[in-house]
Amino acid sequence: MFSRWNWVACGFYLVLNICSPDASSGLVQSCGHIIPESPVLPLGSNFTALCILNESCLDFGNIYANQIIWKIKNRVVPKEQYHEVNKTVSSVTFNDTSSLATPLTCNIVADGQIEQNIYGITVTVGLPPEKPKNLSCIVHQVSRLTYHMTCTWDPGRHTYLDTQFRLRYSWPEDIFPDCIPKDVNNSCTVHDVHFFVNTEIWVEAANALGKAESDPLVLDPVDIVKPLPPQNVSVMSTVLPTVLALSWENWISHTVIKLKFNIRYRIVGDRNWMEVPSEDTASQRTSFSVQGLRPYTEYVFSIRCMKEDGVGYWSDWSEEKTGITTEDIPSKGPPIWRIIDTSHSPASWIVHLLWKALKPFEANGVILQYEVTVRDKSSLSSSLKKYNVTSTNHTLQLPNATYEVTVIARNSAGASPPSALLIPASYSKAPVKNLRTLPKHDKLWVGWTAPNSYVVKYVIEWCLVSSCSDCIIEWQIAPGDVQGIDLKGIKPFKCYLITVYPLYADGQGSGQSVKAYLKQDRPSKGPIVQTKKVGKAEAVLTWNHLTVDEQNGFIRNYTIIYKTIDGNETVVTVDPSKTEYTLSPLTSDTLYTVRMMASTDNGSRSGPDFTFTTQKFGKGEIEAIVVPVCLAFLLIVLLGVLFCFNKRDLIKKHIWPIVPDPSKSNIAQWSPQVPAKHNFNSKDQMYPEGSFTDVSVVEIEADDKKSFSEQDLKPFDLLKKEKSTSEGHSSGIGGSSCMSSPRQSVSDSDEGETTQNTSSTVQYSTVVLNGYRDQTPVQVFSRSESTQPLLDSEERSEDHAGGADSAAQRQQYFRQNGGQDETNTDRPCFERAKQITHANEGDLVGFVQLQISGQSSQPLGLGMEKNTQEAALSNVLQTSTEGQTVRPETVEENRLSVDEMPKSYLPQTVRQGGYMPQ
Amino acid sequence: MAAADSPSAALRRRDLCSRGIRLAGKMRVDVIDLLDAYVERQGLDVSSLDSSVAAVEGVPLAAVERWDEQTGTQRLLENLAAYRAFRALLAQMLEEQREQLGEADAGLGRALASVLLQVSAFAYHLEELLRLESRGVPGEEEEEEGEEEEDRPPPPPRLSIFEQKLRGLGVLRELAQWAVRSARDLRQLSKPSPATGTASGLAESP
């Protein structure tokens, strides 16, 4: 029981010890402590620490040294490193301090395995400072009287400790305040520097583990001065065009430090500096005249200085100052050349004189004007003309002759030597030979072989050949002793025309030209090919040359690639001078794709594909087939016609069987009422109107022309009218009085589809016999094979019974036929009627009568002009009010004669050569 | 004597002379600059004060008759005495200037301190040369004690501020003249003159 309370008290005591912030000096005493207290240890050394327990704790809590546990941070140190010195002291030893860490604690395990901390220390591990090395100093001049000395050194390895560096310097009898670097450990600047006394300078490094000093540096600070550069530098031109005078101020009094100088200069725009020889400026000075400069050239100057004896440092370069030299006379005349235009007139030239502006180092000033002198060397008078020009060209119109042209450039300082050019009347001298070019990087070398005679100089002309712009000539003069020059500013992939003229002392050689490229490329586009002519087995291709701008080089050849649709490709190489090529042999009626490629030395470019199809037949093949076929056809037709003609009777018999013509029946001859056959001129006469109302006559015409008389015409008209009014009786009997097709008959009858259809399908279907007067007509239907026109006498009788409509239709019919040529289907009939009328003058009367019965007065006019007899008739008619009742006498006579006919004979069909009574 | 004859000693002597000449030149430049600043800062009218500035007590006059007849040692000793006096006077001036102006005019104080350092350095050069001449360097206390024994001057009276300014002006003017003379003296010493110069000088020296 006592023991338990004892341990509780002990634990409480230990806790108090631990919780106390200042156990050693606080209210509660610590149970122990560690020696040494917060050591700083060299890295890698061995270290032993002792934990000493207080006697009071031994008595109170039975705590002994053998219960001590050492810990680094929270890691227990192996027991092997412990050593129990006595019952209150325990030591721990570390062979290498690099294994140490903070904190190192001394702990104790009391009864009940309660671990309590007794004490802890902070262990600092590091390295002593190394000896600073490589100490060096420089004195910077800050102002006229102020100098700062900056010393730098190598601080050595990292110490892991707070290490102080200080720069120390002293005179033999005086020690100056130390210079302590701020923020760095390898340099320090001293602000109080005194010259001409040897000063000892060294660096001292110190930390908790030691101190080290650098080797001392003994020097006079004046020997390490870097002065300020000269100030207020000014550059002044002098009367001499090659001299500029410099002046400046020095920051250091020459009584203190004597200086020497460097002067450098360059032309404005040039990056390369030139320097005045150092021996010329090796002494103290504040001015210098720089000689050997170019006239009228702007120079940039800069100066630096250092101690005269060369011990120390050069200052920085001073600020740059510029100055310009005065003008001098131009050193040479401008290069001159000419372009002669002879196209103006054969007797005179237009001479464009060209000269180049002098380069700045040649002009030596501002060129104010050029003085051009032209001397005619051909004439004895040797006339001289002078021109003052401000530009670099001048154009003159001169007669063909030899001239000497001189040009002088003038500036404010004077005139240049003249440059002369001889313009001969003819180029009688030898030209250069073997003109050639060779690209050299970005320049184009032009070379030639000199003529045998002495050449003063050469003129090289060149221009860019372009289809878009004119050839603008550039030129350059080369001395007579060279045989090649480099042309600059030549663009790649452009064609240049280069011409070289040799200039002799007494004449000029003709120019030799060559085309050249600085660099070639493949053409920018390919040629566009098309066909000029396509045949069965060949095709003629044409194309245009690429423009010079598109070529990008010399076209070496064209390549034509053509293939059929199944891929058989053929390649043809064509000379570049050609613009046409014939592809042969080709397959007929085949689609070809052709592509053309232009090639330079550096590649090729294809144009667009072009397709064409070869023809199926060659030239003349179609004609050779068609013409014989046509001829054969014509021959067959001709033979057929001849055959038909020969066999016409046989054919006719099969096609048109013989139908008896009632009108030519013999029975008519024996009828006593029938007038004589030879008087039977017209049907009107034969069958007056109204007398055939009960008689139907079918007139079947044979091949006799006689049947196309008025006998045909009149009944047709009547028949037509009857069809309109009494369809039931006509019963499809259509027809025409013409020898026309059944279709023609249909068009005659404007009304009645049924009739038309019937008549169109049945050639002659029915012969209708109306009953005579009170007799019941007996309709007999019999099919006829005849195509003869039907008689329309019965329709005409119906017209009379029908009334005014029929009359009006008839009137229209006559107006159409009498007034103008109608395209009516009736027209042939009418024409035929007219022919007949003309053929037989006697029939005309009857015809006019028919017109009158149609109540038409207009057609009558024509008839009256022809015949006064007819006029008289018309007068009679005009007095009549009803045409149907008033009839001319002649008609009356016919009527009478016709009226007698029904009494005397039966209806009959007249047919020459046969009559069949019914 | 043996030291003076050795080549290294001759080289050292020449180096000291050369350096001393340039130091004297720089000192003169700095002193002249300092004079301008001093007159300006102290509010002195130089033209009206020319007659008032008397010779500085305790400083040998730079101007001396028969200068060219002096021996080397004599020159060195006179120079050393003068620069030791200047060192003391300049230190006193610096102290007075700090008392009067405090840190308000640090530039003038720095210039004074710089001149003081140069005077001190020049005195060191002179001592070294005297050592090379195998001539003992007189101690400052010895000189003072000797003087004290022979003719102890009365303690300097307390000067007014204006008098301090005038004395300072006189010190700087005299120092500027001594800088010129010292350069000439050292140039004379650095000449490769026959042994007479050194030997006789040393012989003649007290």
CA-based nearest distance B5→chain A, Å: 23
A256: nearest CB among B20, B29, B110: B29
pTM over 0.80: no
Residues A97 and A39 in one domain: yes
Domain endpoint, select from A567, A584, A614 = A614
- A742 DSSP β-pair partners: none
Alpha-carbon gap, residue A166 to A603, rounded angstroms? 76
The whole-chain average pLDDT of chain B stands at 76
Q: What is the pLDDT of residues A83-121, one digit of tens each?
A: 888 878 888 888 888 878 888 888 887 766 778 888 888
Comparing A105-109, A229-233, A604-608, A729-733, the range with the smallest average pLDDT is A729-733
- Backbone φ and ψ for A249, nearest 5 degrees, come out as -120, 145
Q: What is the pLDDT of residues A138-194, one digit of tens each?
A: 999 998 878 899 999 999 999 989 999 999 998 877 788 899 998 899 999 998 788
pLDDT, position A670:
59
Q: Residue A658 pLDDT > 80, yes or no?
A: no
**Highest-pLDDT range among A366-375, A417-426, A428-437, A877-886:** A366-375
More confident residue, A534 or A30: A534
Alpha-carbon gap, residue A135 to A216, rounded angstroms? 8
pLDDT tier, A29 (very low <50, low <70, confident <90, very high otherwise):
low
pLDDT, position A131:
93
In B, minimum Cα distance to A256 occurs at B26
A247 falls within a domain: yes
Q: Residue A272 pLDDT > 90, yes or no?
A: yes
Listed in order, strand segments (DSSP E) in A142-198 are 147-154, 164-170, 187-190
pLDDT tier, A513 (very low <50, low <70, confident <90, very high otherwise):
very high
Tell me the CA distances in angstroms from A779 to A287, A643, A766, A767, A772, one per residue in order.
Answer: 159, 43, 9, 8, 12
Q: Which residues of A touch B28 (CB under 8 A)?
A: 255
Sign of the CA dihedral B70, B76, B78, B82?
positive
Cβ neighbours of B149 (radius 10 Å): 8
Q: Which residues of B touch A139 (CB under 8 A)?
A: none
- Are B26 and A256 in contact (CB < 8 Å)? yes
CA-based nearest distance A74→chain B, Å: 57
A274 falls within a domain: yes
Q: Which residues of B touch A222 (CB under 8 A)?
A: 22
Cβ neighbours of A916 (radius 10 Å): 11
Buried b (16+ CB within 10 A) or exposed e, A615-653: beeeeeeeeeeeeeeeeeeeeeeeeeeeeeeeeeeeeee
In B, minimum Cα distance to A194 occurs at B118
A367 falls within a domain: yes
Q: Which of residues 145-174 of A touch B (CB under 8 A)?
A: 145, 171-174
Q: Which residues of A touch B25 (CB under 8 A)?
A: 255-256
- Give the closest residue to B83 by CA, choosing from A296, A71, B75: B75
Q: Is A475 helix (H, G, I), strand (E, B) or coil?
A: strand
Residues A292 and A238 in one domain: yes
Residues A73 and A117 in one domain: yes
Q: Residue A30 pLDDT > 80, yes or no?
A: no
Query: For the residues A199-226, what does the mean pLDDT come to?
Result: 92
Query: For the residues A235-261, what does the mean pLDDT come to?
Result: 90
pLDDT, position A323:
95
Residues A320 and A232 in one domain: yes
CA-based nearest distance A316→chain B, Å: 23
Treating both helix axes as pointing N-terminal to C-terminal, what angle do A858-866 and A868-879 enclose, rounded to 10 degrees?
140
A196: nearest CB among B26, B28, B113: B26
Q: Which residues of B touch A195 (CB under 8 A)?
A: 22-23, 26
Query: For the residues A628-644, what does the mean pLDDT come to?
Result: 93
- Give the closest residue to B35 by CA, choosing from B159, B160, B176: B176
DSSP-derived secondary structure for A544-583: PPPPHHHHSS---EEEEEEEETT--EEEEEE-TT-SEEEE
Domain endpoint, select from A579, A614, A649 = A614
DSSP-derived secondary structure for A330-396: -SSPPPEEEEEEEEEETTEEEEEEEEPPPPHHHH-S---EEEEEEEESSSSS--EEEEEESSSEEEE
A914 falls within a domain: no
A762 falls within a domain: no
Residues A193 and A278 in one domain: no
How many A-B residue pairs are in contact by the CB < 8 A criterion?
48
Contacts made by residues A498-501, CB under 8 angstroms, sequence distance 24+: A498/A435, A498/A437, A498/A444, A498/A446, A498/A460, A498/A461, A498/A462, A499/A460, A499/A461, A499/A462, A500/A431, A500/A432, A500/A435, A500/A446, A500/A448, A500/A458, A500/A459, A500/A460, A500/A461, A501/A431, A501/A458, A501/A459, A501/A460, A501/A461
- Are A174 and B120 in contact (CB < 8 Å)? yes
A410 falls within a domain: yes
CA-based nearest distance B142→chain A, Å: 18
Domain endpoint, select from A85, A102, A126 = A126
pLDDT tier, A833 (very low <50, low <70, confident <90, very high otherwise):
very low
Alpha-carbon gap, residue A750 to A745, rounded angstroms? 10
Q: Residue A907 pLDDT > 70, yes or no?
A: no
Residues A67 and A142 in one domain: no
pLDDT, position A248:
95
The upper half-sphere exposure of residue A330, i.e. CA atoms within 13 Å in the direction of its Cβ, equals 26
- Are A192 and B114 in contact (CB < 8 Å)? yes
A255: nearest CB among B25, B118, B125: B25
List the structure tokens of A616: 């199926």
Q: Which residue has the tokens 């390895």?
A: A157
Q: Residue A900 pLDDT > 60, yes or no?
A: no
CATH architecture of B8-137+160-190: Up-down Bundle (1.20)
pLDDT, position B51:
59
Q: Which residues of A touch B117 (CB under 8 A)?
A: 174, 192, 194
Alpha-carbon gap, residue B11 to A532, rounded angstroms? 109
pLDDT, position B44:
76
Burial of residue A108, with CB atoms counted within 10 A of its CB: 0-12 exposed, 13-18 middle, 19 or more buried: buried
More confident residue, A672 or A471: A471
- Are B19 and A198 in contact (CB < 8 Å)? yes
B23: nearest CB among A173, A197, A253: A197
Please report, for the domain that includes residue A507, its CATH number.
2.60.40.10
- Residues 6 or more apart from A886 whose CB is under 8 A from it? A876, A877, A880
- Are A196 and B19 in contact (CB < 8 Å)? yes
B23: nearest CB among A174, A196, A253: A196
pLDDT tier, A406 (very low <50, low <70, confident <90, very high otherwise):
very high
Q: Which residues of A touch B30 (CB under 8 A)?
A: 145
DSSP-derived secondary structure for A62-130: ---GGGEEEEETTEEPPGGGEEE-SSSEEEEEES-GGG--S-EEEEEEETTTEEEEEEEE--EEE-PPP
Q: Residue B33 pLDDT > 60, yes or no?
A: yes
Q: What is the pLDDT of residues A281-329, one digit of tens each?
A: 999 999 999 999 999 999 999 999 999 999 999 999 999 999 999 999 9
Q: What is this model's ipTM?
A: 0.75
B22: nearest CB among A174, A196, A198: A196
Q: Residue B151 pLDDT > 60, yes or no?
A: no
> Which range marks the domain in which residue A149 is found?
133-223
Count of structural domains, chain A: 6
pLDDT, position A685:
47
pLDDT, position A569:
86
CA-based nearest distance A175→chain B, Å: 11
pLDDT, position A276:
95
DSSP-derived secondary structure for B106-139: HHHHHHHHHHHHHHHHHHHHHHHHHHHTT-PPPP
- Give the closest residue to A494 by CA, choosing from A468, A475, A512: A468
The whole-chain average pLDDT of chain A stands at 75
pLDDT tier, A812 (very low <50, low <70, confident <90, very high otherwise):
very low
- Are A196 and B20 in contact (CB < 8 Å)? yes
Residues A232 and A318 in one domain: yes
Residues A415 and A431 in one domain: no
Q: Residue B150 pLDDT > 80, yes or no?
A: no
Tell me the CA distances in angstroms from A173 to A214, A338, B27, one per residue in order.
Answer: 21, 88, 19
Percent of chain A with pLDDT over 90: 37
Query: For the residues A544-550, what does the mean pLDDT come to?
Result: 90
More confident residue, A551 or B139: A551
Q: What is the pLDDT of residues B78-128, one digit of tens each?
A: 999 999 999 999 998 888 888 776 666 778 888 888 899 889 889 988 988
- A94 DSSP β-pair partners: A47
Alpha-carbon gap, residue A776 to A183, rounded angstroms? 160
Strands of A529-534's sheet in order across: A529-534, A539-543, A580-583
Query: For the residues A433-443, what does the mean pLDDT come to?
Result: 90
pLDDT, position A299:
95
Cβ neighbours of A62 (radius 10 Å): 14
pLDDT tier, A395 (very low <50, low <70, confident <90, very high otherwise):
very high
CA-based nearest distance A255→chain B, Å: 5
All structural domains of chain B with their residue ranges: 8-137+160-190
A826 falls within a domain: no
pLDDT, position A411:
93
Q: Residue A23 pLDDT > 80, yes or no?
A: no
List the structure tokens of A275: 């320097």
Residues A533 and A598 in one domain: yes
- Are B33 and A145 in contact (CB < 8 Å)? yes
CA-based nearest distance A136→chain B, Å: 21
Comparing A361-365, A438-442, A650-654, A675-679, the range with the smallest average pLDDT is A675-679
